[in-house]
Amino acid sequence: MPPRLVWRRLSLENEIKQIMYDINKVRADFPILSREVYNRPLVYLDNAATTQKPLCVLDAMREEYLNVNANVHRGVHYLSQRATDLHEAARERVRNFLNAEKTEDIIFTRGTTESINLVAASFCEEFMHEGDEVIVSAMEHHSNIVPWQLQAAKRGIAIKVVPMNEKGELLLDEYEALFSERTRIVSVAHVSNVLGTVNPVKEMVRIAHEHGVPVLVDGAQSAPHTAIDVRDLDCDFFAFSGHKIYGPTGIGVLYGKESWLDRMPPYQGGGEMIESVSFERTVFEKLPFKFEAGTPDYVATHGLATALDYVTELGMDNIARHERELTEYCVRRMKEIPGMRLFGTAGDKDAVVSFLVGDIHHLDMGTLLDRLGIAVRTGHHCAQPVMQRFGVQGMVRASFALYTTNDEIDALVEGIRRVSQMF
């Protein structure tokens, strides 16, 4: 075959791989999306809080409870062995999803919040002393502020904050200027849950590493929306939650480089995380089990793995493209509404639009949209410093997922217009 024809054939194959998924078929996997509230079709736009679950996730968990339910790692009987296989297969699935080097780098937690608390407590115990510093950003979720404040109260460490501009973009020059000989760790959101800003974490990791400082990336709002490669990011820790990526609640992940995890003490003590126990001393288990005390939610890990298979099959690049187009479309339509004030106008933005309209209180807007069947989030979004930065008490937030449609964006815009006319 002539070279030109070979190239053309390869190009067509690549185009086929990039064909968007059928949104109607996808929505059929989520029965809740077809229900009504207040006799109106549900328009679910609160995906940054939690995503809906496809039938395959619910079926996988039901099947395990019905046919494979037994505690993992402990039994020699068939059910225990089978449950253990599913649990550890889930760990491998997460490793692959993140492109981590080893399954030993994957720790199961209850969610992003626990993952960050684990790092804060354990890292500070081993590596931080009074006067040492942690760098966070001005757009952090409370889950990436309060754990460090708890450590500050306990150990006397200092918290430094990377400022942001009016667009909701971090100021990298000022970020770099925050480093000192006492900086021990950086902990930063990959994507803002309020502003939708996609932070340049790869560059932030590079800068931190030039100063010999590790980086924890809060991936709660990035993992559901774009492909994650922890080796490419070169981050030292990465955290995300199952329920925000179409999986069950109560399960999360902490990725950590073995070089750090090996030196950090256990976060909790009890079953599973020990090699041997006597009243004189305890020998801890090897990674990752050193950080997994007690019975894990082994059914939820299977559900998480099924969710990751689901999004992988659709293609993370397809999901990212779909949601970016939705976000751009929503912003364009929002700007048509008189009195609209948008928050978070960074050039690199994804899956979240936060707003206020005129003098309408965010709670009033959210409550009245709800009566129209439109589910949005109102309040401070667990990011009160962001609210203070923009001089507001709260915002309305619409957040998107792989199943969100342009028609739902249109319904939101029409709903906002209707509510606005009431004031």
Per-residue model confidence as pLDDT tens digits over 211-261: 999 999 999 999 999 999 999 999 999 999 999 999 999 999 999 999 999
Q: What is the pLDDT of residues 279-299, one digit of tens each?
A: 999 988 899 999 999 999 999
Q: What does the pLDDT average to over 17-32?
A: 87
Which amino acid type is present at position 421?
A: Q
Fold topology of 20-49+315-420: Aspartate Aminotransferase, domain 1 (3.90.1150)
Per-residue confidence (pLDDT) for residue 3, from 0 to 100: 42
Q: Is the peptide bond before 288 cis (omega within 30 degrees of 0)?
A: yes
The least confident of 7-21, 108-122, 315-329 is: 7-21
Q: What does the pLDDT average to over 393-411?
A: 98
Q: What does the pLDDT average to over 84-90?
A: 97
| 86's tokens | 């599913």
Per-residue confidence (pLDDT) for residue 275, from 0 to 100: 86
DSSP 211: T
Per-residue confidence (pLDDT) for residue 5, from 0 to 100: 43
Q: Which residues contact 123 (CB under 8 A, 6 or more apart)?
A: 184, 185, 260, 264
What's the gap between Cα 2 and its chain centre? 47
Catalytic residue among 56, 124, 235, 382: 382
DSSP string, 70-135: --TTT--SHHHHHHHHHHHHHHHHHHHHHT-S-GGGEEEESSHHHHHHHHHHHHHHHH--TT-EEE
CATH number of this structure's domain 57-313: 3.40.640.10
Farthest-apart Cα atoms in the chain, separation:
75
Place of tokens 């994804």: 350
Place of tokens 């774009």: 226
The answer, yes or no, to whether residue 13 has pLDDT greater than 60, is no
The least confident of 19-23, 202-206, 341-345 is: 19-23
Domain boundaries in the chain?
20-49+315-420, 57-313
In contact, 290 and 284? CB cutoff 8 Å: yes
Q: Is 382 a catalytic residue?
A: yes
In contact, 216 and 190? CB cutoff 8 Å: no
- CA-to-CA distance for 130 and 382, rounded, in angstroms? 28
Per-residue confidence (pLDDT) for residue 18, from 0 to 100: 52
Helix pair 55-67, 298-314: axis angle to 10 deg: 150
Length of the chain: 423
Per-residue confidence (pLDDT) for residue 392, from 0 to 100: 98
Place of tokens 């989030």: 377
Query: Is the four-CA dihedral 102, 108, 113, 119 of positive or negative sign?
Result: negative
Coil vs helix vs strand at 231: helix
| 47's tokens | 């995906």
Within 13 Å, how many C-alpha atoms sit on residue 378's CB side? Answer: 15
Per-residue confidence (pLDDT) for residue 19, from 0 to 100: 62
Per-residue confidence (pLDDT) for residue 8, from 0 to 100: 45
Q: What is the pLDDT of residues 156-168, one digit of tens each?
A: 999 999 999 999 9
